[in-house]
Amino acid sequence: MCSRVQFHKTNAQPIQRDRGMTLVELLMTVTILGIIMTSLSAAMIVILRTEGPIKNHLSESKDITFLQAWIPNDLASATSRNTEPLFQPSATIDLLGTNVLTLNRADISASGISSNFVVSYRYVQSGDEWQLRRYEIRNVGLANQTVTQVGVAHQLASPPPTWNPTQSPTHAVTVTSRNQVVLRPIGEDIQVVFGSGEQFTTGGAGLSSQDQLPTDYMGGIIDPAAPPTRCGGTVTVVLDTSVSIPWQGGATSLVNAALGFIDAFSGTPTFMRIVGFDVSAYSYYPTAAGQYVNILNPSNDLTAMRTKVDNQDLSNARWGGGTNWEDGLWQAFRTNAGTPFSQIPELVVFISDGAPNRNRTNTPNDGDARYNTTDLSRAVTAANYGRGTGARVVGILVGNDARTTNQGRMKSVVGNVVWNGTGPTNPGNAAAADFFLPANSASFAQLGNVLRSISAAVCGGTVTVQKRIEQNGILSEATGTWSYTTDVGVRDLNTAESSSATFDYTFPGGTTTRTVQITETPKSGYTFVRADCSSSGVTLPTSRLSAPADGSPGVVISLSPDEAVSCLMVSRPS
């Protein structure tokens, strides 16, 4: 039993207990918690709302890196382009999606070996995502053809409900020429629209070779995006000499068109060859297989080539009884044994008035000479072989048999991009077209317009310069290096490396002429005398030529967009 004192002492100790919160404290706590929870909720909402866009922006940033890594490099090495939605770079493959831009590219390995391949950018659906894919095709049309692909952009805008894959996907990817040049665009800009609505633009073009910035002429500076000139190179004409042509009264028109084609390239750095074909193919001129005629300057070979063509409509000319497409295309690139020629054409112009009814396995005495699918498929293989070398193969169909069925057959050989022009003054898409058909397909007389449109697309709006020294009234080729300045830049003509230099000029839409000035940098020991200029082998009239107003050595030319002018810059020893 506790004593009273002890009891008192025990009750005197402090008692530890939770006395709770007052009403005021509780109200303050609830208010503070409410403020904190509201802030946290708002922050969570912001985070959740921005998570998607953040992911999209990160993906778009990655896509932009890929776009910038691939596209400018491909454009810088491109030798030709195609933007037709349905275009397929080879009959032996069927790439997915819609074509945005297909390029032929030249490539040089570390060992210095040159090769060609195709790059195709296509708009492709993958699940619920729309992508821009890059396909790389090596050895196009050959047995060892390979196709590799990489996704360049994965967040592209989806198509509108009215769009279908036969249309250009401009809602997501747009290809625009940097200058609206009729024949020769100087590079492309590629605009990509992402699903978020954000846009990105990149582009590029091949750099001009041997160009410098002007130092002594106020005509302007060169466009560093300008591609090397497309004028010149190796051209092969594969000419139908089957008997159906004179039967239709087309012999003279065919001759005149071929002569006009040769003349259009005269004075340019072009090497030309003609292959004839009927029941079989043969070297029309030069008669030595695989050889070319340099038509930069007048020569015995050039005269002989023109004479051979000019005599084609005579009674003693070869007009065979068959149409062997395969052999004509075969012998444009290789020998009968299949060995490639040492000099491969860069452009092949294939002209025919009907359907193939022979192939290389037939003999001249084989029976029925009617069209069959084997003859066509073998011609397709021969054309694909040529494209595999990097050549551009274009086809022209003319005559009474240029019907819808034959048009489809020709397209299967050369490609589906149809020419939309009418002639050299309205070349349309002649620089990129595969299949050419005169406005009146049965009219051989219109073949000349078609051929001149092709030559204008390749060499139109150019001036080719050569240097000559005159002594005692005799012209001789100059030696050393000579410099020429124009409003598209400065170029050195090193005669030890090249016999000519070509300047390409652009023409805004609707422009039919352009005044260009070419100035020669004075060289010690020589006095500039004159410029002898011609077009298609015909001397330009004095009304189109004049001396520079500032008295500098050179020439001022009135140039048309569909012509190739050649000038001999003549000096005398001082």
Residue numbers of the domain that contains 474: 211-228+461-573
Is the separation of the CB atoms in 101 and 117 below 8 Å?
no
Count Cα atoms within 13 angstroms, Cβ side, for 5.
0
- For the chain, the first-to-last Cα distance in angstroms comes to 146
Is the separation of the CB atoms in 325 and 356 below 8 Å?
yes
Q: What is the 3-state secondary structure (H, E, C) of 398-460?
A: CCCCCCHHHHHHHHHHHCCCECCCCECCECCCCCCCCEECCCCCCCHHHHHHHHHHHHHHHHC
Residues 384-406 have a mean pLDDT of: 85
Euclidean distance between CA atoms 285 and 305, whole angstroms: 6
Whole-number Cα distances in Å, 341 to 106, 138, 285, 386, 554? 19, 20, 15, 11, 40
Residue where one domain finishes, among candidates 426, 459, 492: 459
Digit-coded pLDDT (tens) for 343-358: 989 899 999 988 899 9
Same domain, 102 and 157: yes
Same domain, 135 and 221: no
Answer yes or no: is 115 within a domain. yes
Same domain, 448 and 477: no
Percentage with pLDDT > 90 across the chain: 43
Number of domains making up the chain: 3
Euclidean distance between CA atoms 553 and 216, whole angstroms: 13
Does the pLDDT of residue 217 top 50, yes or no?
A: no
388 Cβ neighbours under 8 A, 6+ residues apart: 116, 139, 140, 141, 142, 145
Residues 141-149 have a mean pLDDT of: 86
φ, ψ of residue 185 to 5 degrees: the values are -60, 140
Euclidean distance between CA atoms 109 and 115, whole angstroms: 8
Answer yes or no: is 39 within a domain. no
Answer yes or no: is 111 within a domain. yes
Does the pLDDT of residue 454 top 70, yes or no?
A: yes
Answer yes or no: is 13 within a domain. no
Same domain, 347 and 386: yes
Same domain, 224 and 254: no
The confidence score (pLDDT) of residue 98 equals 94
Residue where one domain finishes, among candidates 424, 459, 494: 459
Same domain, 223 and 160: no
Same domain, 409 and 290: yes
Where is average pLDDT lowest: 123-137, 276-290, 501-515? 501-515
Interior CA angle at 143 toward 139 and 144, to 5°? 50
Cis amide prior to 286 (ω within 30 degrees): yes
pLDDT band at 112 (very low <50, low <70, confident <90, very high): low
Interior CA angle at 385 toward 383 and 388, to 5°? 110
Euclidean distance between CA atoms 338 and 263, whole angstroms: 31
Euclidean distance between CA atoms 458 and 348, whole angstroms: 12
Digit-coded pLDDT (tens) for 373-393: 899 999 999 998 988 888 889
Same domain, 327 and 364: yes
Same domain, 477 and 392: no
φ, ψ of residue 58 to 5 degrees: the values are -65, -40
CATH number at residue 353: 3.40.50.410
Answer yes or no: is 7 within a domain. no
Euclidean distance between CA atoms 120 and 506, whole angstroms: 27
Answer yes or no: is 52 within a domain. no
Is the separation of the CB atoms in 463 and 488 below 8 Å?
no
512: DSSP letter: -
Same domain, 240 and 285: yes
Mean pLDDT of the chain: 83
Is the separation of the CB atoms in 237 and 393 below 8 Å?
no
> What is the token pair recorded at 124?
């492709």
Residue where one domain finishes, among candidates 407, 433, 459: 459
Euclidean distance between CA atoms 122 and 102, whole angstroms: 8
CATH number at residue 487: 2.60.40
Does the pLDDT of residue 525 top 90, yes or no?
A: yes
Same domain, 442 and 492: no
Answer yes or no: is 385 within a domain. yes
Answer yes or no: is 1 within a domain. no
> What is the token pair recorded at 256?
């005149």
Does the pLDDT of residue 105 top 90, yes or no?
A: no
Same domain, 326 and 271: yes
101 vs 15, higher pLDDT: 101
Where is average pLDDT lowest: 46-60, 348-362, 474-488, 508-522? 46-60
Euclidean distance between CA atoms 470 and 99, whole angstroms: 55
